[in-house]
Amino acid sequence: MIFIIILSIVFFDQASKAFAIKFLQLNTPVPLIKNFLNLTLVHNRGAAFGILQNQVSMFVLISACAIVLIFFNLRDKSNSRLLKFSFSMIMAGAIGNLIDRLRFGFVIDFIDFRVWPVFNFADSVITIAAFLLAWEMLFKKHVA
């Protein structure tokens, strides 16, 4: 099941980015919901919020290490389903953005709420997973 989750997220992420590349012009907003949501193709050469620009090798190395660590965490039978699901989502998002960095040297971003930096589906999945992980850590009942 974990494999299907990861494959599905990576597929949707890459498909949405292919759509953005095909139908959007770089840095040209296309309004979907006036004054709220645009589609704006951006080449993100940095990390979150565009920090650490042009550090592709570093991001590839960090992503690869994170993917390997998550893989071993997913194999841990003592982890809860929510923890495994969250790790799967993070791994899938990391793979999606890693594919971009390896193919293009940057990440394709296109979801633009105008009050937040432009992002993509993989970024959304990673963010949701981070909240799920926080929930698990804060509210999990620890057995002594």
How far, rounded to the nearest angstrom, does the alpha carbon of residue 121 sit from its chain's CA centroid? Answer: 6
Hunting for tokens 């989502």 — which residue is that? 89
CA distance 138 to 144: 16
> Edge-to-edge strand order for the sheet containing 37-44?
30-33, 37-44, 107-112
Type and span of the H or E element at 13: helix 2-23
Number of neighbouring beta carbons within 10 Å of residue 45: 17
Q: Where are the beta strands (DSSP E) in the chain?
A: 30-33, 37-44, 107-112
21 contacts 41 by C-beta, under 8 angstroms: yes
Task: Cite the active site residues.
Answer: 109, 123
> Hey, which residues does 112 pair with through a beta bridge?
38
